[in-house]
Amino acid sequence: MPPPRKVDLLPEEQKTWLKDALKAGGFAGYEQLADDLNARLEDAGITLRIGKSALHTFGKEYSEFVRYQEEASAWAADWMKDNGLEEEAQRHNVLFQMITTLAFKVMQHQMTQTGENISPQELHFLGRMLKDVMSSSGIRQKLLADERKRVAEEATKAERERVAVAMDGAIAEAGLSAELASDLRAKVLGVSR
């Protein structure tokens, strides 16, 4: 197993600063960024030093990660909006981003491998994870469709009851026979009383 990259050895605070600086600088200016990072490390009493080429490699990977994450977020928001799941989209956004990030990391790792180093097991797990996400969205759609159907049925039942009460009042005012009233209810409401 290869040794960890120097960027991966950065304390979390410095790594967060580096990511923010990369975004703010438009993923450019690596020489100045290396000088700034190394000065921060020195001020913090950390002996680790990172060169611009290592930062460039990390910056390129992180840029792709940010782009994929933004695309995945935009796609997820659009998809959920198109399917009437705006509120649910807000609740599930964090989970979806975490899954997307994990999938990206696995794909990124596999893209750097060659031949026998490619792990079929990792690819299998990635495929299974994506399948589960897609399956979950199908289940969610079915639950929403069932809920919409239930609400529509309740509204129909309430409307029939309202019409039945109105018919009973009209029948009483008209003084119709019980047999004629029953026939009218059956024709109008589709039920007998």
Q: What is the mean pLDDT of the chain?
A: 78
pLDDT tens digits, 157-172: 888 888 878 887 787 7
pLDDT tens digits, 107-139: 776 666 666 676 677 767 777 776 776 666 565
- For residues 15 and 10, what is the distance between their CA atoms, to the nearest angstrom? 6
* Cα dist from 89 to 76, 80, 133, whole Å: 8, 6, 14
Does the pLDDT of residue 175 top 90, yes or no? Answer: no
- Determine the angle formed by the axes of helices 120-174 and 178-189, rounding to 10 degrees: 150
- For residues 95 and 110, what is the distance between their CA atoms, to the nearest angstrom? 23
- Confidence (pLDDT) at 1: 60
pLDDT tens digits, 51-97: 999 999 999 988 988 888 888 777 767 766 776 666 655 555 556 66
